[in-house]
Structure 1
């Protein structure tokens, strides 16, 4: 059975503008219990900021999160993205090829509408796997 990305993606994503501080984005991630935010101007996807970006490109390089803009740390284009009508098989292929754990989902006009993660795919494609169990478990904090 072919599953469409729109059926497995997280549509309730967080988005910030490129000049938003890293500290503000990190607080948003904590409050929403998410590992990434889309960086966008309205419908123009500028990049993706992950918790890993904050650690490796921010903290490890000694940047001040209270003044550093997310646009300075996020993964920038060319971004690998999915269309809501793409299949989960295509998402898996892209994640393997580009060694990424999350992919932004954008409509044909370029407007970001969600994110699909490795955990989303595991829960859909192999619901009995350890990754699926971890991905669907309630937070422990």
Structure 2
């Protein structure tokens, strides 16, 4: 029997509205020790913003992080999976798209995130990445 995304994903998905400012998103990532946040619009749109997006697309721009909305730096129409999808499918999508995190969506609603760290900890906990991913984050 194949392993399902729901067995390894981190839930619930941490989400913000598209008009949330970058400073708020950065503090949320810091406080939750996560590297990405799902941007969920009232109209059902799903996007992703990563810690790298905050720096490369956000802080490098003119303007202030307190006033720049996350919708200006996030990636819309991200590759997503369902909690019922096989982990093999998620791995294939991550490899083909060269991404480290997948939003997990059910009926248009984000329910979790599947990261390389989740996969490593769940499938090969003895590997270096698996041990790092399973350990507590630095304070």
Give the SS at the match of 1:83.
coil
Shift of 1:26: 0.8
Q: How big is the shift at 1:43?
A: 7.3
Partner of 1:84: 83
Q: In 2, distance between residues paired with 1:104 and 1:46?
A: 9
Q: In the alignment, which of 119, 122, 134 is matched to residue 121 of structure 1?
A: 119
Deviations 1:21-67 (A, max 9, x none): 01011111111111111100247233111101001101123442111
Which ranges of 4 or more aligned residues in structure 1 deviate by more than 3 Å?
none
SS of the residue aligned with 1:29? helix
Q: Mean Cα displacement is larger for which, 31-40 or 56-65?
A: 56-65
Normalising by the residue count of structure 1, what TM-score does the alignment of the two structures yield?
0.92
Matching residue of 1:94? 93
**2-side partners of 1:11 and 1:57: how far apart?**
27
CA RMSD of aligned residues (A): 1.4
Q: Give 1:8 shift.
A: 0.7
Gaps of 5+ in 1: none
Q: Find the counterpart in structure 1 of residue 54 from structure 2.
A: 54
* Cα distance, 1:69 vs structure 2: 0.3
Unaligned 5+ runs, structure 2: none
Rounded to whole Å, the distance in 2 between the matches of 1:43 and 1:34 is 25
Q: How far is the alpha carbon of 1:14 from its aligned partner? A: 1.2
CA contact (8 A) 2:101 2:113 kept: yes
* Partner of residue 136, structure 1: 134
Count of equivalent residues: 139
